[in-house]
Amino acid sequence: MALLFFNALLFLGEYQLTEAKLQEVSSEQNYTVLRTELKPMLGKTYGSSFAFVSDFNKYFDAYNTRQQENEQWDRVIWDDYTFAATKAASEGIVKENRGVWLLLTVILGTAGALLYILPLYRNETAGIKHDGIMFSSNKARGVIGITLGVYLILLYVVLYWFPAYIVNWTLLVDPLSRFLSGGPASQWFLYGTIYTLAILVMGIRMFRKYRGNKYQTLRTSSVMFFQLSFAFLLPEILVLLNKPWHDFKNIWPLDYTFFFDYRVESMVSSGTIGMFMFVWGILLIILGVPLMTYFYGKRWYCSWVCGCGGLAETAGDPYRHLSDKSLKAWSIERIMVHSVLVFAVVMTLVTIANYFSGFALLGQATGVLHQWYGFLIGAAFAGVVGVGFYPLMGNRMWCRFGCPLAAYLGIVQRFKSRFRITTNGGQCISCGNCSTYCEMGIDVRWYAQRGQNIVRASCVGCGVCASVCPRGVLKLENGPEQTRITDIPILVGNESF
Amino acid sequence: MKETKAIGDFCTNGKGSRIVIIGNGISGITCARHLRKRDSAAQITIVSGETEHFFSRTALMYIYMGHMKYAHTKPYEDWFWEKNRLCLVHDWVTQVDFEQKQLQLKQQEPIPYDTLILALGSKTNKFGWPGQDLKGVQGLYSFQDLESMEAHTQNCARAVVVGGGLIGIEMAEMLRSRKIPVTFLVREQRFWDNVLPKEEAELVGRHIREHHIDLRLGEELDSILEDEAGNVRAVMTKAGEEIPCQFVGLTAGVSPNIDLVKNTALEVNKGILVDAFFATNIPDVYAIGDCVEYRTPPPLRRPVEQVWYTGRMHGETLARTIAAEPVPYKPGPWFNSAKFLDIEYQTYGQVPNTWEEPVDSFYWEHPDGKKCFRALFNSESRQLQGINAFGLRLRHAFFDEALQQHTPVEAVMERLQEANFDPEFYDRFHPQILQAFNTQFGTSLKPKKNKKKGLLAIFGL
Ligand SMILES: Cc1cc2nc3c(=O)[nH]c(=O)nc-3n(C[C@H](O)[C@H](O)[C@H](O)COP(=O)(O)OP(=O)(O)OC[C@H]3O[C@@H](n4cnc5c(N)ncnc54)[C@H](O)[C@@H]3O)c2cc1C
Ligand code: SF4
């Protein structure tokens, strides 16, 4: 219901741009240009955002094309005003009844979800709750699952490339944004709000599903906490305090813009806090990651702290079994994820070199790299594929095939770590629950049935294999490195040779 | 049956000896894998009528419950067989000609062999109950049984499961996962009490009832009644109660599946009789897995052992005998595990349902009544004899060693924390267990800690 309302919002309301509104959203200098260029639009009322945006772009592009043809490069307006202008132009029932709509959509939706989630498994004993998953249309790639996947993909495409169409949604969260950071809501604030809500609500679902399972409960509380505080509230509060927006738990190369000149500049120029951000970020990369991963495995980040991991582990949990377990998928995974890591490292090196060479030589190359990385990896992979493919190919597509930080953590975990999943002697019955529910597509059973410990770069330590194993075969633990990688020729229990 | 594929080139061309295995269960497949590891020339053929590929029989229940699909239960990807030149023949063997060394198949050409390995598995026990062959009455062993169960429980208002063993409780759980009301007839006075001691049997019994299964202890099946269409309509108990139902699960145990070799030159009793090398009375014919009966059981073992682990060990051992040097089968301390609905069960060593002097027992149960720990030991030599654990996970290697070293029970209790295999952050029960032991036996044992050194201690590892 709430989702329906939410989607309907996009088609409601009217759009009217006035001079005053235009002035509000554009810079002084551009305002004069825009006022003349957009003259035919001003005061006119549009029935939908589509008509509005299309007209806006028509006039706007016409102007830029003209300048370009005349090679008046300095006159071209590079800033994108579509979103801001559309948002300002939005009028009518959405804008005037923000509170009501917020109630009807986001709040009602959350409440509805909670009403469904809270009583889940109420009269049941604690245990594995996987009955019927493979028959579910939503969870087993049925019509509902595919529809949802397509919807999510569209959502991401609009969010990344056509935000002007969803201004009505951002209007809803404007008051929240003003309260937190003092500024109006961008599409990213809207995204952050929904993202955080999804982690919180679906985190509560995890508490119900894994009742009695302390590892899962603690881990879920941890990602909920980090998302709400570090990723959502703290950065906005920083903005309120006139500091750069910063997520202290995001680490390069996942946070691929960390070394971009504008980020570095804004950090360095923001006093002590800014310097702290910069130093903290670098410390995490060179000390935090290797040390923590040595002691606890990459799980300390991927399934306890990370925001992408947080969404995958909560909202993505119903789809974890859809990951591909084949050997082929594993070889593709290794090539892809390490290529992205190389891409990210090269891009960053070029950026830094560019910074020190005074933006002379490498300016062009840096720009192109940034653009392509942002488009291919940052948006298309992490967003569209990463989340949109949850109901299609499992909840860790991005983490498994694309995340450069995961690749870095994984290299440490594979070669220098105390973490492993211990196999309990000869108790495995090869049932396959562990492999089926491994979101990273690790064929856990392959190792378990040979009595071998599982040491894999990709393991994020979610602990679900250990939870679902009906014979108590698997245990995530940190222990001496010597006993970590085992190759037992014969399983415990057979003394024949 | 599905159209069968032509046998690949790699199956029949070559100079290695022709080894044919009937049965693609855990024993046959383990044997084939280990044979291939040790002998790259052998021509290895595996025949089975049940499914083309090896799947995990123990996971049948999860397919019905929707936790997994059939494909998930295959431990190896489909390319694995050809890559390792293990030739799969999907067909039923109808006759074995031990003289000509040849197998007759139901659909395909006969297969000659130099060495034959029988890994035929088990079949469901039926005790001649009236109505046992009606539609909707079945056991659960094969993949075909699963398909039949799926078909016959589509519109089922109540099901009855007869026989309180491991497969019985699995079947009850399967039916409950589809919200089908289940009546569970168990002949014994307590659930599985021919294996479990009283306290453990009661613990499981309570948990079964908690899952809304109508558990009837001390009740026996008399007959199964049919309707006009030949379907089951109700069961009649020995006490004279008629229970209406549309499905009956028969789970009163399994026995070796030896129909293929009955009344042949092969010596059989309950199972195919084998020596310590899995050799039968006919040269070049071996048998492993569920279908086997030991002529002389290994120490502390029963003549017929029908579990996954023994099948796997048989396969490992026989492969060595055939491809390298003869090794007799020498299993280590017994171990097994199961899951009763939500409660996991592990056992190591010997824990029978009753015991006598000089064997003594220590038993601890958590106040929630869902976790317990039992240790049997010799009250004179103090040697540990066996462990039962419910709702706790224990380390196999720890008890394997303790049992082989004849460790005294006190030494085991002091180091119990090392045996803990529960997930991280779970409550630890070994202090309570040790306390209970001290109270029961008037000892004052304290946990023996492994000292942690240096940096690691600082990080609390
Ligand atoms: C529902 C269920 C749950 C179980 N759970 C557990 C458990 O948790 N732990 C445990 O230890 N054990 C468990 N078991 C027992 C375990 O599965 C068996 O001990 C084991 O599978 C036996 O393996 P096997 O290789 O000897 O025989 P099987 O796996 O039975 O393989 C024999 C194969 O040979 C084929 N075959 C037989 N005759 C012919 C013929 N004439 N022609 C062609 N093919 C033929 C059969 O079709 C079958 O595919 C369970 C059994 C069942 C049924
Ligand atoms: S879930 Fe446990 S028993 Fe099943 S295959 Fe995995 S490790 Fe083995």
Q: Of A91, A110, A135, which closes a domain?
A: A91
Domain presence at residue A14 = yes
Return mean pLDDT, chain A. Answer: 87
Question: Which residues does ligand 1 sit against, CB inside 6 Å?
Answer: A 429; B 22-28, 47-50, 57-58, 60-61, 92-93, 119-122, 140-141, 167, 170, 257, 260, 289-290, 306-309, 311, 338
Q: Return the residue of A nearest to B398 by Cα.
A: A425
Ligand nearest to the CA of B347: 1
- For a ligand 2 pocket test, name from A428, A438, A468, A492 the mutation site with the most ligand atoms within 8 angstroms of its C-beta: A428
Which of A143-152, A243-252, B416-425 is predicted with the least confidence, judged by mean pLDDT? A243-252
pLDDT at residue B126 in the model: 95
How are strands ordered across the β-sheet holding B242-244? B221-226, B232-237, B242-244
Q: How far apart are CA B223 and CA B238, in angstroms?
A: 8
Q: Of A67, A91, A115, which closes a domain?
A: A91
Regarding whether B167 and B68 lie in a shared domain, the answer is no
Q: Which residue range forms the structural domain that includes residue B412?
A: 335-458
Regarding whether B343 and B434 lie in a shared domain, the answer is yes
Assign residue B50 the CATH number of its domain.
3.50.50.60
Rounded to two decimals, what is the model's pTM? 0.93
Regarding whether B157 and B14 lie in a shared domain, the answer is no
Ligand 2 contact via A444 beta carbon (within 6 Å): yes
For A12-29, what is the mean pLDDT? 70
Domain presence at residue A382 = no
Q: How far apart are CA A273 and CA A279, in angstroms?
A: 10
Question: Ligand 1 centre from B57 Cα, in Å?
Answer: 6
Domain presence at residue A321 = no
Regarding whether B451 and B346 lie in a shared domain, the answer is yes
* Count of domains for chain A: 2
Note whether B69 contacts A: Cβ–Cβ < 8 A: yes
- Mind spelling out the 3-state secondary structure of chain B? CCCCCCCCHHHHCCCCCEEEEECCCHHHHHHHHHHHHHCCCCEEEEEECCCCCCCCHHHHHHHHCCCCCHHHHCCCCCHHHHHCCEEEEECCEEEEECCCCEEEECCCCCEECCEEEECCCEEECCCCCCCCCCECEECCCCHHHHHHHHHHCCCCCCEEEECCCHHHHHHHHHHHHCCCCEEEEECCCCCCCCCCCHHHHHHHHHHHHHCCCEEEECCCEEEEEECCCCEEEEEEECCCCEEECCEEEECCCEEECCHHHCCCCCCECCCEEECCCCECCCCCEEECHHHEEECCCCCCCCCCCCCHHHHHHHHHHHHHHHHCCCCCCCECCCEEEEEECCEEEEEEECCCCCCCCCEEEEEEECCCCCCEEEEEEECCCCEEEEEEEECCCECHHHHHHHHHCCCEHHHHHHCHHHHECCCCCCCCCHHHHHHHHHHHHCCCCCCCCCCCCHHHHHCCC
Q: How far apart are CA A106 and CA B38, in angstroms?
A: 63
pLDDT at residue A93 in the model: 63
Q: Of A91, A111, A131, which closes a domain?
A: A91
Domain presence at residue B291 = yes
Q: A2 falls in which pLDDT band (50, 70, 90)?
A: low
Q: How far apart are CA B103 and CA B20, in angstroms?
A: 9
Q: What is the ipTM, given to two decimal places?
A: 0.94
pLDDT digits (tens, 9 = 90+) for A51-63: 777 777 777 777 7
Domain presence at residue B429 = yes
pLDDT at residue B368 in the model: 95
**Are A15 and A45 spatial neighbours (Cβ–Cβ below 8 Å)?**
yes
Chain position carrying tokens 């589809």: B178
How are strands ordered across the β-sheet holding B93-97? B93-97, B102-105, B111-112
Q: Which residue range forms the structural domain that includes residue A77?
A: 2-91
Assign residue A489 the CATH number of its domain.
3.30.70.20
Q: Return the residue of B nearest to A464 by Cα.
A: B423
pLDDT over 60 at B344, yes or no: yes
For A165-183, what is the mean pLDDT? 81
pLDDT over 50 at B398, yes or no: yes
CB within 8 Å: A497 and B317: yes
Ligand nearest to the CA of A425: 2
Q: A358 falls in which pLDDT band (50, 70, 90)?
A: confident
Q: A92 falls in which pLDDT band (50, 70, 90)?
A: low
CB neighbour list of residue A333: distance below 8 Å, 6 or more residues apart: A400, A401, A441, A458
- For a ligand 2 pocket test, name from A445, A453, A475 the mutation site with the most ligand atoms within 8 angstroms of its C-beta: A445
Percentages helix, strand, coil for chain A (3-state, rounded to 5) are 65, 5, 30
Note whether A486 contacts B: Cβ–Cβ < 8 A: no
pLDDT at residue B12 in the model: 61
Domain presence at residue A164 = no
pLDDT at residue B8 in the model: 59
Going by alpha carbons, the residue nearest to atom 3 of ligand 2 is A428
* Count of domains for chain B: 3
